[in-house]
Amino acid sequence: MAQLLIRLPDALARRFKRRVAVRQRSKFIERLLEESLPPEDIADDDPLYQAALAVEKDERLTSEMAEWEEATEARPPIVVATPSAGPRAVAVCDQLRAVDKRRLTRASGRLSASDLGIVEDGVRRVLDL
C-alpha cells in the first residue's frame, strides 16, 4: 500500500476529522477515490499524464527522484513550540511558502521576541544558513 500526503482546506479537514473515525479515514478516502476515478484500463491521453509516465520510464530521472525522496525522508520536520501564540501553538519551520503580502488580511496573534528567535533558528536550520 502507498502512503500519500494530501492538503485540505482547514474547514474541510476539521469536518473530515469530526465526521470520520480515525480508523475509518483511509477506507473512507479509498471508497471516494474508487467511486470518482475512472477505471485504470481506460487509456488516458492527457499530455501531462503521458509526460509523467515518460518520466517514470526514464531510469536517470527515477533514480534522481528516489534520491530526493530519501533525502527528504531523512530530514524530520522542524517543529518548535511557540507558547506566546497559544498553549498548543507550534511553528513548522520546514514548511516555508512564499506568500504575497496582500493575501495576509488579518493578524492571528503576535510572537514574543524569544519565540520569534526560536522560529528564526528553525528556519535557518531548514535553509542551512
- Give pLDDT tens digits for 24-49: 999 999 998 888 877 665 556 777 77
Can you give the pTM of this predicted structure?
Answer: 0.41
Q: Is the dihedral of CA 105, 12, 81, 118 positive or negative?
A: negative
Alpha helices in the chain (DSSP H): 10-19, 25-36, 47-57, 59-74, 113-126
**What pLDDT, on the 0 to 100 scale, is given for residue 106?**
83
Q: Which residue has the cell 520546514?
A: 94
Task: State which residues of the chain have pLDDT below 70.
Answer: 39-44, 72-76
Ramachandran bin of 58, using left for φ above 0, alpha for ψ from -120 to 50, beta for the remaining angles:
beta
Residue owning grid cell 492538503: 7
Q: What CA–CA distance (Å, rounded) separates 19 from 68?
A: 36
- What pLDDT was estimated at residue 73? 67
